[in-house]
Amino acid sequence: TDGDRVGRAAGPSLALPADVAARIDDGEELGPVMDDLLDTDGIAERGGAAGALTNGRIDRAEALAAGVSGALGPFVTDLY
């Protein structure tokens, strides 16, 4: 916001595998759950769950960038 305008958007929405979703519902964090599932360490610092769930077609940074870019609309064009 700049005091007058607000930008809202969302990045990609990915369905979680049922076993992952159940663990998140039980209070676990997504990164460690994905590490456990994939037998990795630090997936959140690499492609993230988005990267793993799309086989690298979109990664964590790209997903975040899409959401932030959409939210910037009211501030980067006069169409709003």
pLDDT digit string, tens, across residues 21-38: 999 999 999 999 999 999
Tell me the one-letter amino acid at 53.
L
The DSSP element (H or E) to which 67 belongs, if any, is: helix 60-71
Distance of CA 69 to the CA centre of its chain: 13
Q: How far apart are CA 23 and CA 30, in angstroms?
A: 8
Predicted local distance difference test score (pLDDT) of residue 4: 86
Give the predicted TM-score (pTM) of the model.
0.76
